[in-house]
Amino acid sequence: MNAATILIVDDEPPIRRLLRTSLASQGFQIREAADGHSALAEIERSCPDLVILDLGLPDIDGSDVIRLLRGSGNAVPILVLSSRSDEKGKVEALDLGADDYVTKPFGTAELFARIRAALRHRLQQQGEPPVFRSGDLEVDLVRRTVRVRGEEVKLTPKEYDILRMLVAHAGKVLTHRMLMSEVWHGETDVQYLRIYIRQLRQKIESDPERPQHILTETGIGYRLRME
């Protein structure tokens, strides 16, 4: 994993310098772009393993970069850089196909963890393992069984559909809209989703009030932790 190539897309030289220094110290190969068009050209040229993308670019919006990449079938993992107050921009970027986001200002430890999760998710997608394991949680996607600490847990069809969606994108943030669209085909509201998430946590979490598997991304959606 440490040999992966990461493209940094940000128009602020200090941010690029910080990212370049931090990521290079972890053994990553680094490419850089200061705007959206340069980023698209670099992605086509060098095929990076992951893209760290600022949304506020000087030529085209970062969301447009995601839209163009996903529209062309490019599945490169995209980690969005966003300001703390730009929740709407985060949700839009994730709905368009970004894998995750980091908030400015960011800590390098969290950034490294998000990068590792995004790269693992890419490998998981390529391998499509039939059994997902993380901590004491085990989900068999073929037999449609769920076990916690070795004991089988009975889920309702909707609870299983939600968990299966989270497993398929483990480590990735799924917005409320994405989950509702997939599980209910958009015909429900966020409060209904929250009720099912609460029920699911009651069944798979050791302490539902302090979940270790299904993590809340406040105002955005949920993420299944992948160990």
For residue 105, what pLDDT is reported? 83
Looking up tokens 């490019």, which residue turns up? 74
- For residue 4, pLDDT beyond 90: no
- For residue 14, pLDDT beyond 90: yes
Burial pattern 101-130, b for ≥16 Cβ within 10 A else e, equals bbbeebeeeebeebbebbbbbbebeeeeee
CA distance 156 to 146: 11
Helix (H, G, I), strand (E, B) or coil at 104: strand
Sheet containing 29-33, strands listed edge to edge, beginning at the edge strand earlier in sequence: 29-33, 5-9, 50-54, 78-83, 100-104
Q: Looking at this protein, which amino acid is placed at residue 45?
A: R
- For residue 222, pLDDT beyond 50: yes
**What is the pTM assigned to this prediction?**
0.76
Confidence of residue 98 (pLDDT cuts 50, 70, 90): very high
Alpha-carbon separation of residue 177 from 36, 96, 142, 146, 173 (angstroms)? 26, 11, 26, 25, 11
Here the tokens at position 110 are 């969290």
104-124 pLDDT, tens digit per residue, is: 888 888 888 889 888 877 766
CA distance 88 to 190: 16
